[in-house]
A and B are shown apart, each in its own frame.
Chain A
């Protein structure tokens, strides 16, 4: 459902993405890892049309992002995104955070949107927080609301940009459990993370990026057991220590 063909991107003179090729099939879970600054987050932002790229092509559900006729707003409805620092709307309650897009973009009625939002809050395990403001939630709770907010648009694919790296250790698991649940339900997922336990459990494919390139790719087991490049071995050695 997502085809990334030979994509390159520059910030000024600096090349952040170098000839990236990747295909994510419907229902597939792909984990991207790599050192910071390797272009992982930029790649996700490109797939969602939040950043332009200068070369190559990204096609989502048969629609090319570089085609000037493509309605990026429409396209983004299909791809949910979760950010490192949650990015909940601080002036709105949890409920309004979740119902805003369904009501404004999909023109759902308030009761319908709220019913759906409550079901999603149940799913992420915090139905009692509907009336709270984001500032009154823990990091783990905020991230689960962020996941519920993305799911409320019923996306075909979910992208996660280091969803647990801003969390205290004891809150990481509660977010990962929600993500594993999503994976088991068959959601297409593109996840930037360093949580290798999660990667091992759900990933159909693991990509290792460094300096804007895909250095290595493999299925979950072979990636860990038998990394090919020295760069990958060094990286795995460090994070699995």
Chain B
């Protein structure tokens, strides 16, 4: 009953690999930039806090699909050359997800007591060292369940990149469907694949949530 899927399996899974790659870039870049954004959002320096806050509020109030279009169509006007859909999508996801990860990191930083930071400073650590070795690792561990949940959303959202012609799995499914005309089985297959990956992800998140509740290590 999944005949159209099996015939085109390598092609479809090749598309899925692109989703995975795009998610990997989005998460690596989004987490890194998000940690910096979170630090900016707790900064006491107005010239750091205000621009970062404007950036966060702006991106969080725009649909992701618009950001994808914007980067794809507007960026080349500034850079002077057309962008590869994958790079364009990766850039869109990093700048978009960084605002969400940034707000999660901000919440994590706010659980850290002022005296813990003072303790780090009192041993001579600089702001950068305190951020890198104390603030970010603690916030990351404490916010792990939320970070995983947001990562799952990011992974699902990678399929939106089909709007700029990226040959990811959903895009490839529409192509296969236009030839084979087997909509139900093709789209069911895609749905199952996403579901399985994301369900496993949410279980992992739950696991860490319970673990951190039991062991009060952090």
| Contact call B119/A76, Cβ cutoff below 8 A | no
A48-B122, A105-B125 known; A133+B217 contact, CB < 8 A? yes
Total interface residues in chain B, CB < 8 Å = 22
Among B98-106, B130-138, B149-157, B188-196, the stretch that binds chain A is B130-138
Residue of A nearest to B218 (CB): A90
Which of A7-15, A145-153, A204-212 makes up part of the contact surface? Answer: A145-153
Contact B119 A104 (CB under 8 A): no
B121 proximal to A (CB < 8 A): yes
Give chain A residues whose Cβ lies under 8 Å from the Cβ of B120: 89
Q: What 0/1 pattern do residues 48 to 92 of A give for CB contact below 8 A with B?
A: 101000000000000000000000011011011101110111110
Known: A85-B113, A91-B138, A91-B141. A80 touches B123 (CB 8 A): yes
Which A residues are in CB contact (< 8 Å) with B123?
76-77, 80, 100-101, 105, 149-150, 152-153
Q: Does A131 contact B (CB under 8 A)?
A: no
Residues of B within 8 A of A83 (CB): 115, 118-119
The reply on A180 being an interface residue by CB < 8 A is: no
Q: Is the CB of B118 within 8 A of A45?
A: yes
Q: Determine if A150 and B122 form an interchain contact, defined as CB atoms under 8 angstroms apart.
A: yes
User: How far apart sit A150 and B218, CA to CA, in the bound complex (Å)?
Assistant: 22
The verdict on B82 contacting chain A, using a C-beta distance below 8 Å, is no
Q: Say whether A126 faces chain B, with CB atoms less than 8 Å apart.
A: no
Given contacts A85-B115, A105-B129, contact A73 B217 (CB under 8 A): no
Within B137-170, the residues touching A (CB, 8 Å) are 137-138, 141
- Interface bracket on A: 20 to 34
Chain B nearest CB, measured from A108 CB (Å): 12
Q: How many angstroms between the C-alpha atoms of A79 and B123 in the bound complex?
A: 8
**Bound complex: CA of A149 vs CA of B137, how far in Å?**
19
From the candidates A48, A50, A104, A133, name the one contacting B133 in the complex (CB within 8 A). A104
Q: Are A100 and B133 in contact (CB under 8 A)?
A: yes
A135 at the interface (CB under 8 A from B): yes
The residue in chain A whose Cβ has the minimal distance to the Cβ of B118 is A50
Q: List, in ascending order, chain B residues with CB within 8 A of A84's CB.
A: 115
Whether B116 sits at the interface, judged by CB under 8 Å, is: yes
In the complex, A53→B141 CA distance in Å? Answer: 35
Q: Is the pair A73, B124 in contact by a Cβ cutoff of 8 Å? A: yes
Chain B residues closer than 8 Å to A91, beta-carbon distance: 137-138, 141, 217-218
Per-position binary interface string of chain B over residues 39-65, scored 1 when its CB falls under 8 Å from any chain A CB and 0 otherwise? 000000000000000000000000000
> Which residues B176-218 have CB closer than 8 A to chain A?
215-218
Q: Is the CB–CB distance between A135 and B119 below 8 Å?
A: no
Give the chain A neighbours of B110 by CB distance below 8 A.
none
Instruction: Give, as a whole number of angstroms, the nearest-CB distance from A103 to chain B.
Output: 10
For A133, what are the chain B residues with a Cβ–Cβ distance below 8 Å?
A: 217
Q: Mark B73-106, 1 if CB is under 8 A from A, else 0.
A: 0000000000000000000000000000000000
Contacting pair A81 B129 (CB below 8 A): no
A135 and B125 in contact, given A83-B119, A90-B138 (Cβ under 8 angstroms): no
Q: Which 9 A-B pairs have the closest CB atoms?
A: A101-B123, A77-B124, A81-B122, A87-B119, A105-B124, A87-B116, A135-B217, A87-B115, A83-B115
Partner-A contacts on B (CB < 8 A): 113, 115-116, 118-126, 129, 133-134, 137-138, 141, 215-218
Could you list some 13 contacts between A and B, CB below 8 A? A48-B122, A50-B118, A73-B121, A73-B126, A87-B115, A87-B118, A89-B116, A90-B138, A101-B125, A104-B129, A106-B124, A146-B119, A149-B119
